[in-house]
Structure formats: C-alpha cells, structure tokens
Chains A and B, each alone.
Chain A
C-alpha cells in the first residue's frame, strides 16, 4: 500500500525558514518523480514544486521560485521542501504527491499524502 506521510509543518514568523519532509513507503521511491502541492485555507490547489526520479530536474511555481528548494533522498525514501523567506501568503496545507512517471513535468500525480499545515504569522 502506497503511503506518503508529511511532517515538519507548524507556526513560523514571516521571514523565517521551515523544512518539510515526506516519508514514502509501499513503492519503489527512486523510480518516480515527486511533487509538492499546497492549498491555502478555503482556496484551490496550487502546484508548488516537482523533482524528477534522479533529482536531475526540478521545477517551481513562480510564487516560490528563489525561496523554496525541493530535494529527495532515494536511500531514505524521503522528499523534502526547504522553505526560506516565508510570507503570510505561504500559509497552507502542504501535500506531497507521487508522480506517475520518472519526470515531474510530464507526469501527473496518483497518490497523495494527508498534508502538513504551515502557518506563517507574526
């Protein structure tokens, strides 16, 4: 059974940093790209970032480019999102999602975690 468990969310002040993690199990993690998607309270889904199976390619939404960094450790079956210079508008539930193929840009997402809540507030 595929499982994705996000962690690392919490309350943080504007301008500070936070690192999210996603622990994957139930599939060969290193064979698939991964995504981060977020959802602000009461709002729609926003694709945040994606990473290919080998970390060879990554992509970011314009809203987070230059502030967020996606990475993965295939040996630890883990996905990460380093979030710097956080803004109040980054407040959201952050989901990690498994891609359907090797590359994040041409792959959709099939399995999703339950999300971890990030609140940016002073």
Chain B
C-alpha cells in the first residue's frame, strides 16, 4: 500500500520560514512523482499552489516555493503571513494513480 507522509502539524512565527515535506514509503521522491502542493482553509475548497515539483500557478504568492530536499518533496514558505495558517497537502504520482499525503496543519503563532 502506497503511503505519502507529511508532518501532521508545524508552528511558525509571523515573518519566519518553514519547510513542509512530503515523503513516500516506496523510496525517494523525484521529479517523476510530479509533486503538487495544495492549501486548504476551513470551509473552503483546496487551492493549488505548486505543480510538477517547482512550478507556481499565476496566483501563487512569491513566498511559496517547491523543491526536492533529502529524498522528499518540499514546500517552503518564506516570510510567513498570518493568512498562511491552513492545511497543506502534497500529491504524488504512482504509475497511473495519484495519492495525497495526510496533510500538514500549519499554525502561525
């Protein structure tokens, strides 16, 4: 069974930097997993942030960036704003199917 792992929760101070990671029980995550990142706030539909590891959508704030880090996909927020408090999900490709991670609850405090 394919399992995509994310930190359950992280806390960051306003203006700080935080990195969320996305790992796979099948091994190192590479660009071939086409990592995507999504943000979801309470009561709202998810919003796409990053696709294919590093690519931003036109609406993605510049403070969000995607990368590969230590065998995982990573989402880095630099200069965190209070409005960044949300749940963040990664999505990986596995041979014809896609699997979401369990999500990271980011608290800005």
Determine if B52 is an interface residue (Cβ-Cβ < 8 Å): yes
Does B97 contact A47, Cβ atoms closer than 8 Å? yes
Choose the segment among A12-20, A77-85, A100-108 that binds chain B (4+ C-beta atoms closer than 8 Å).
A100-108
Determine if B99 is an interface residue (Cβ-Cβ < 8 Å): yes
Does A59 contact B96, Cβ atoms closer than 8 Å? yes
Question: In angstroms, how far is the closest chain A Cβ from the Cβ of B4?
Answer: 10
> Which residues of A69-122 are within 8 A (CB) of B?
95, 100, 104-115
Question: In angstroms, how far is the closest chain A Cβ from the Cβ of B52?
Answer: 7
Does B91 contact A95, Cβ atoms closer than 8 Å? no
Does A108 contact B48, Cβ atoms closer than 8 Å? yes
Task: Using A44-B100, A45-B103 as known contacts, say yes or no to A109 and B36 having CB atoms under 8 A apart.
Answer: yes
Determine if B98 is an interface residue (Cβ-Cβ < 8 Å): yes
Q: How far is the CA of A66 from the CA of B46 in the complex (A)?
A: 27
Query: Main SS of chain B's interface residues?
Result: strand
Does A113 contact B97, Cβ atoms closer than 8 Å? no
Residue among A61, A113, A114 with the most chain B CB within 10 A?
A61
Task: Using A100-B51, A108-B51 as known contacts, say yes or no to A114 and B45 having CB atoms under 8 A apart.
Answer: yes
Task: Using A44-B102, A95-B45 as known contacts, say yes or no to A108 and B97 having CB atoms under 8 A apart.
Answer: no
Question: In angstroms, how far is the closest chain A Cβ from the Cβ of B82?
Answer: 23
Which of A35, A37, A105 contacts B96, CB < 8 Å? Answer: A105
Determine if B93 is an interface residue (Cβ-Cβ < 8 Å): yes
Does B100 contact A59, Cβ atoms closer than 8 Å? no
Question: In angstroms, how far is the closest chain A Cβ from the Cβ of B22?
Answer: 13
Q: A106-B34, A109-B91 given; name 20 further pairs at CB < 8 Å.
A: A37-B46, A37-B100, A44-B87, A45-B89, A45-B103, A47-B97, A50-B98, A59-B96, A60-B97, A61-B97, A62-B1, A105-B98, A106-B93, A107-B51, A108-B36, A108-B52, A109-B48, A110-B48, A110-B57, A113-B45
Which residues of B pack against A, CB within 8 Å? 1, 34, 36, 38, 40, 45-48, 51-52, 57, 87, 89, 91, 93, 95-103
Which residues of A pack against B, CB within 8 Å? 35, 37, 44-47, 50, 57, 59-62, 95, 100, 104-115
3 closest Cβ contacts across the A-B interface? A108-B36, A108-B51, A44-B103
